[in-house]
Amino acid sequence: MAALVERHLADAEARLDRLAAAIAGEDLRLEAVVASIVEAMLDLHASSPRLHRVLFEEVPHGPAVRGRIRAIEDRQARGLAVVLARLAPVRSPAVSARVIVELLEALTHRWIVGPDASPLPRARMQAELERLVLGYLRSP
């Protein structure tokens, strides 16, 4: 199980790092950045829903795994904060980025592993999450 968790985290980390590099290196509009991030989070959770459920709902994790997950989230939030500072009228890009990373992790995780997993079709979930994040970023 530890090897499966490690492989899953390594894959997620690599995919998110590639996304962060692509977003940071391009002149994208806020809508495109949000769509890319939401799509990536849905992809990460929906690629193997049963495996994800077992690995993160049924297998206990020690401090090392929890620390690694937090480090991945921290790195993604720092990268997103840099992008938000350029593209979004937010008071604190670091705070907004942290909220978005944690919000998307929680909602996409629940979408795939909750007791009524995937109650919304993927396209609808993508649209709703994009609307949620963009509304948050654009609110005064």
How many whole angstroms separate alpha carbon 70 and alpha carbon 59? 17
What pLDDT score does 47 carry?
Answer: 80
Closest CA to 53 of 118, 104, 97, 98: 118
What pLDDT score does 118 carry?
Answer: 63
Average pLDDT per block of 10 residues along the chain, 140 residues long: 85 91 85 96 85 79 90 95 94 97 94 76 96 95
Domain containing residue 47: 2-138
Residue in this structure with the two tokens 């997993």, named with its chain if needed: 117
Number of domains present in the structure of the chain? 1
What pLDDT score does 117 carry?
Answer: 63
Structure pTM? 0.89
CATH code at 6? 1.10.357.10
Rg (CA), the chain: 15
What pLDDT score does 6 carry?
Answer: 86
